[in-house]
Structure 1
Amino acid sequence: MRYLFVGDSMTVGSAGDFTWRYRMWQHLCAAGEPFSVVGPRVTLYDRASDSAVSADYADPSFPAHARRHLAGWGEGWRHMVPLIGDAVREHRPDMLLISLGLIDLGFYSDAEETARNVVRFIAAARTARPRLRMVLLPVIPNTRADLDPDFAGQCAELNERMAKSVADLDSPESPLLMASRPDGYDILLDTYDGTHPNVRGEHKLAAAFADAVYQAWGVGAPYEAA
């Protein structure tokens, strides 16, 4: 199985992070099934230079081939739509693990427009690889939602629209899956700034994907945090 991680700042991580991608890689190694991680990028975001140039993962032994991804700080569904086709054609993933949407709602578009970009993304990915599997994580509202009811409502609406798109567009040839919000995810305890996951949060994000694909498709194994 060839995995491509697609996401925003919660997925790419910043200098000094482990990332949930690292936790997922550890889990896949422990599951014992053949796999590879693919994608056009390998770096973390560097806050000092405001660019994705850092190789400073918290575990320096995290192998270069497993660091691959298609994620970016400040990038959402709208940014990934024009990128996903080429990435899929070049790197030939079997499964996309996708965590996107919060940045779209926070800076670029409303739930309705973002949901249209979700559909465009799915179509572009399938055009590049018709038998591709995709798993979408719901948007996890950050602390802004506690102070901005309209933003909280947009997060909830986008999750509803994504779930409907997944149900409508699912097919035996190219299965789609909406994962569940990570069990017990707490913005105060599982992030270091109200948005980005800390060590606890990284494990919970990885578990949400791992458990979803195991329960739905029998791929891998149930997640067990270290």
Structure 2
Amino acid sequence: MWEHLRETYGGPFALVGPRETLYDKAADAPVSYEYADPDFPRAHLAGWGEGWLHMAPLIGEAVHSCEADVLLVSLGLIDLGFYTNAEQTAENVHRFVAAARSANPRVRLVVLPVIPNVRATADAPFAAQVTRFNELLAKAVADLDESRSPLLLASPPPSYDIRLDTYDGTHPNASGERKIAGAFADAMYQAWGVGEPYEG
């Protein structure tokens, strides 16, 4: 996404967030600075094992302190897998949006549905929860969208394949990350004219 916007977006932009480190699987903690590109701006609000449940209480302060005006959000799988059902997860979406808007009434959000994962191929009740949540997420985006603080529902990458685009059936590898970036980039281009269509 960063590379794409640097190449296609005419105006200035900055990636912001209160965190800098990456999750280190060997240390089982977010202590790594091993970015693929050493020039990449490190600020973010990503978190290993965190979902809507965890981010809803954090997003208001993050938006306020970092002066964020666009949020790209891909959450939900961990919620449904360990913490909340589809309806409870959707309630946390509402809390997240309300908190973000309390910090910046003009914040814009692009939200990605829960994307394919290996558990959903083998666990029918879990797959049903994913489908139900994605339906509720689409409804939440439609209900909460407003002109001064628009919400977009990004389309899941059509060619996303858990055998090719993840390293374990769930977590995206470099190919999967590019496809997810493309989903966000295309949504912003189509709705807001930001950058150009993604060709990563």
1:220 positional shift = 1.4
What do the CA deviations read for 1:129-174 (whole angstroms, capped 9, x no partner)? 0000000001013101111001001011110001001001100010
What do the CA deviations read for 1:184-210 (whole angstroms, capped 9, x no partner)? 100111111111111211110000000
1, 5, 13: which one aligns with 1:35: 13
Cα distance in 1 between the residues matched to 2:42 and 2:183: 19
Instruction: Identify the residue that residue 150 of structure 1 maps to in structure 2.
Output: 125
RMSD, aligned α-carbons: 0.9
Instruction: Identify the residue that residue 115 of structure 1 maps to in structure 2.
Output: 90
159, 162, 169: which one aligns with 1:194: 169
Instruction: Tell me if structure 2 keeps the 8 A contact 1:96–1:135.
Output: yes
Counterparts of 1:37-116 in structure 2, within 5 Å, are 37-59=15-37, 61-63=38-40, 66-116=41-91
Cα distance in 1 between the residues matched to 2:128 and 2:39: 38
Most deviating of 155-164 and 196-205: 196-205
TM-score normalised by the chain length of structure 2: 0.97
1:45 positional shift = 0.4
Q: Secondary structure at the match of 1:151?
A: helix
Instruction: Identify the residue that residue 26 of structure 1 maps to in structure 2.
Output: 3
1:94 positional shift = 1.3
Instruction: Tell me if structure 2 keeps the 8 A contact 1:31–1:220.
Output: yes
Cα distance in 1 between the residues matched to 2:8 and 2:105: 27
1:67 positional shift = 2.0
Instruction: Tell me if structure 2 keeps the 8 A contact 1:141–1:155.
Output: no
Q: Secondary structure at the match of 2:99?
A: helix
Q: Percent identity?
A: 65
TM-score normalised by the chain length of structure 1: 0.86
Stretches of structure 2 lacking an aligned partner (at least 5 in a row): none
Cα distance in 1 between the residues matched to 2:99 and 2:119: 31
Instruction: Tell me if structure 2 keeps the 8 A contact 1:102–1:141.
Output: no
Cα distance in 1 between the residues matched to 2:9 and 2:151: 24
Q: Which has the higher contact order (CA 8 A, sep 6+)?
A: 1
Cα distance in 2 between the residues matched to 1:199 and 1:120: 31
Stretches of structure 1 lacking an aligned partner (at least 5 in a row): 1-23
88, 105, 113: which one aligns with 1:130: 105
Aligned length: 199
